[in-house]
Amino acid sequence: MSKYDNSMIEKFINYIMLDGKKSVAIRIMDNTLNEIKSKGQKDPKAIFFKAMENVMPTIEVRPKRVWGSIYQVPQEVNQKRKLFLASKWIIGSARSKKGTDFYKFLAGEIIEAANETGNAFKKKLDVYKMAEANKAFARFATKSKK
């Protein structure tokens, strides 16, 4: 069990993890939070939560086949998928950079996302633009069962 008492941080650690090496993922998260603190931020966990909140999308486009044509239909995103997409975009952006340690790139990406800049936040805006462009196909969205 990790020392983090928050389920969002635990999930993020699991998304960082490669090949089942959770201890390495926990060490990366520790180093990331320390790096955020060393860059002048007072509360690294608050910065992390703000970054996740800023990157979580509320709407996305999903392909739907209607009468032989495939339309990109905008749909709302449920809470678990929001967390997954935000984590995937932040981690993917940090992994795409080449050079020194991964945790430094991850810390930089989290700080940028908290400030509403960076690649992960740009990805969210791109998803919103795509949903806006395809809002004419919203009538094809399936009604979710609740």
pLDDT at 24: 87
Token look-up 């060393």 returns 38
Domain containing 116 equals: 7-139
User: Does residue 62 sit within a domain?
Assistant: yes
Long-range CB pairs of 3-12 (<8 Å, 24+ gap) are 4/29, 6/45, 8/49, 8/52, 8/83, 9/45, 9/48, 11/83, 11/87, 12/48, 12/52, 12/87
Token look-up 């945790």 returns 103
pLDDT per residue as tens, the chain (146 positions) = 456 667 888 888 888 888 888 888 888 888 888 888 888 778 888 888 888 888 888 887 777 777 887 777 777 888 888 888 888 888 888 888 887 788 888 888 888 888 888 888 888 888 878 877 776 666 666 655 44
The total of structural domains in the chain comes to 1
Nearest-5° Cα angle at 80, 10 to 51:
65
User: Does residue 46 sit within a domain?
Assistant: yes
Whole-structure pTM value? 0.80
CATH number of the domain bearing residue 68: 1.10.455.10
Give the helix ranges, DSSP H, for 1-146. Answer: 7-16, 22-38, 44-55, 79-96, 102-114, 118-133
User: Does residue 146 sit within a domain?
Assistant: no
User: Does residue 50 sit within a domain?
Assistant: yes
User: Does residue 11 sit within a domain?
Assistant: yes
